[in-house]
Amino acid sequence: MVEEKEQQRYTKRRRLAWDVPTQQEGQVRQQPVLCRHNSPPKREDDREGHYTYTLGENLTPRYKILSKMGEGTFGRVLECWDRQTREYVAIKVVRSIRKYRDAAMIEVDVLEQLAKNNKGRSLCVQIRNWFDYRNHICIVFEKLGPSLFDFLKRNKYSPFPVDLVWEIGRQLLESVAYMHSLHLIHTDLKPENILLVSSDFIKLPGHKRNSQGEISYRWLPKSSEIKLIDFGSTAYDNQNHSSIVSTRHYRAPEVILGLGWSYPCDMWSVGCILVELCSGEALFQTHENLEHLAMMERVLGPLPEHMIRKASRGAEKYFRRSRLNWPEGAVSRESIRAVRKLDRLKNMISQCVTVGGSRSYFVDLLHGLLKFDPADRLTAQQALDHPFFRNSPA
Ligand X SMILES: Nc1ncnc2c1ncn2[C@@H]1O[C@H](COP(=O)(O)OP(=O)(O)OP(=O)(O)O)[C@@H](O)[C@H]1O
The residues facing 75 across adjacent strands are 94
Applying CB under 6 A, which of residues 65, 110, 125, 245 lies at the interface with ligand X?
A: 125
Maximum CA pair distance of the chain?
Answer: 71
- C-alpha span between 126 and 219 (Å, rounded): 27
Does position 78 bind ligand X by CB under 6 A?
Answer: no
Q: Which of 46, 82, 109, 188 is catalytic?
A: 188
Does position 77 bind ligand X by CB under 6 A?
Answer: yes
Does position 348 bind ligand X by CB under 6 A?
Answer: no
The whole-angstrom distance between residue 392's C-alpha and the CA centroid of its chain comes to: 25
Does position 143 bind ligand X by CB under 6 A?
Answer: yes
User: What amino acid occupies position 30?
Assistant: Q
Helix (H, G, I), strand (E, B) or coil at 84: coil
Q: Which residue is nearest to ligand X (CB)?
A: 72
Minimum separation from the CB atom of position 386 to ligand X (A) = 28
Does position 180 bind ligand X by CB under 6 A?
Answer: no
Helix (H, G, I), strand (E, B) or coil at 7: helix
- C-alpha span between 167 and 171 (Å, rounded): 6
| Binding span for ligand X by CB under 6 A among 112-120, 139-147, 209-217, 343-351 | 139-147
- What number of chain residues touch ligand X (CB under 6 A)? 23
Does position 229 bind ligand X by CB under 6 A?
Answer: yes
- Residue 385 bears catalytic tag: no
Applying CB under 6 A, which of residues 192, 254, 291, 297 lies at the interface with ligand X?
A: 192
Applying CB under 6 A, which of residues 73, 96, 269, 279 lies at the interface with ligand X?
A: 73
Does position 370 bind ligand X by CB under 6 A?
Answer: no
Whether 173 contacts 253, CB under 8 Å:
no
Minimum separation from the CB atom of position 112 to ligand X (A) = 16
Whether 143 contacts 92, CB under 8 Å:
no
Closest CA to 319 of 257, 267, 361: 257
Applying CB under 6 A, which of residues 59, 69, 259, 275 lies at the interface with ligand X?
A: 69
Side-chain-facing half-sphere of 340: CA atoms under 13 Å = 9
The CA-based dihedral angle spanning residues 137, 28, 56, 138, taken in that order and rounded to the nearest 10 degrees: 10
| Binding span for ligand X by CB under 6 A among 74-82, 258-266, 275-283, 337-345 | 74-82
Closer to ligand X by CB, 77 or 290: give it. Answer: 77
- C-alpha span between 206 and 183 (Å, rounded): 43
Residue count of the chain: 394
H or E stretch covering 81: strand 75-82
Q: Please name the residues in contact with 203: beta carbons below 8 A apart, sequence gap of 6 or more.
A: 217, 218, 219
| Binding span for ligand X by CB under 6 A among 21-29, 66-74, 307-315, 364-372 | 66-74
Could you give phi then psi for residue 311, rounded to 5 degrees?
Answer: -50, 145
Alpha helix segments (H runs only) across the chain: 2-14, 22-30, 98-114, 118-123, 148-154, 162-181, 253-256, 264-279, 289-300, 305-310, 313-316, 333-340, 345-352, 356-369, 380-384, 387-390
Applying CB under 6 A, which of residues 58, 63, 92, 175 lies at the interface with ligand X?
A: 92
Does position 147 bind ligand X by CB under 6 A?
Answer: yes
| Binding span for ligand X by CB under 6 A among 35-43, 47-55, 141-149, 355-363 | 141-149
Applying CB under 6 A, which of residues 57, 167, 174, 230 lies at the interface with ligand X?
A: 230
Applying CB under 6 A, which of residues 111, 138, 144, 173 lies at the interface with ligand X?
A: 144
Applying CB under 6 A, which of residues 8, 67, 224, 279 lies at the interface with ligand X?
A: 8
Does position 294 bind ligand X by CB under 6 A?
Answer: no
| Binding span for ligand X by CB under 6 A among 36-44, 67-75, 200-208, 367-375 | 67-75
249: which DSSP letter?
A: G
Does position 72 bind ligand X by CB under 6 A?
Answer: yes
Helix (H, G, I), strand (E, B) or coil at 158: coil
Closer to ligand X by CB, 232 or 368: give it. Answer: 232
Does position 362 bind ligand X by CB under 6 A?
Answer: no
Where on the chain is the footprint of ligand X (CB under 6 A)?
5, 8, 17, 69-70, 72-75, 77, 90, 92, 125, 141, 143-144, 147, 192-193, 195, 229-230, 232
Enumerate the active-site residues: 188
